[in-house]
Amino acid sequence: MITVYGDEKSGNCYKIKLTLNLLNINYQWQNVDLMKGETKTAEFLAKSPQGKLPIIELADGRVLAESNAIIGYLAKDSMLIPNDEFDKALMYQWMFYEQYTHEPCIAVARFIQLYQNMPAERQSEYEALHAKGGQILTLLNEQLSDKPFVIGSQFTLADIALYAYTHVAHEGGFDLIHYPNINKWLEQVSKQKGYVSMFG
């Protein structure tokens, strides 16, 4: 059986839980509290030298890190990955965008607010992230103006990757009321068969 090492409040970890549930794959969840330094113990570092969550461990002991690589592995041969090569590349385009642009902004603002309770020394960084976050959410809102899912009519890993931190963006101080297409899309994602909430 697959073991997921994750923190329940983390969007990157939630991507794994959501993908496993959508695909009805059996797994066990091992909670790792990153705020208590549990990602930096010798035992955890032996599995994950980067000291980061999430990771999965397969029944044969192999370990995989990086949330989007993990969901790509879990979803192999499923409808969550388009057959058409161009659509598949579009899916990757948005997954890389999520990791390089969206997550470092939306998730970090949320980390400062939710995990760290707004320390004074991160206030100016938080404000800068908010200025950038507005642009990122506007771009996603525009992308969703004429299609139900991120790359078109098919629900793919790009939706899962972007959903993870967008649906909890309010916990980082972003008001999603300004983004009606995003709201419609969030609702569509939550209606997918096998959907599970972050703490579900």
Q: Which residues bind ligand GSH (CB under 6 A)?
A: 10, 12, 34, 39, 51-54, 66-68, 99
Q: How far is CA 117 from CA 11, 97, 114, 121, 124, in A?
A: 18, 27, 6, 11, 14
Q: Which is nearer to ligand GSH, 86 or 100 (CB)?
A: 100
Q: Which is nearer to ligand GSH, 52 or 122 (CB)?
A: 52
CB of 148 to ligand GSH, least distance (A): 25
Helical spans, DSSP H, in the chain: 11-22, 42-47, 67-74, 85-97, 108-110, 123-143, 157-166, 180-190
CB of 9 to ligand GSH, least distance (A): 9
Using DSSP's 3-state secondary structure scheme, residue 64 falls into: strand
CB of 26 to ligand GSH, least distance (A): 22
Strand 27-31, strand 2-6: pairing: parallel
CB of 58 to ligand GSH, least distance (A): 17
Q: Which is nearer to ligand GSH, 138 or 197 (CB)?
A: 197
Q: Which is nearer to ligand GSH, 12 or 113 (CB)?
A: 12
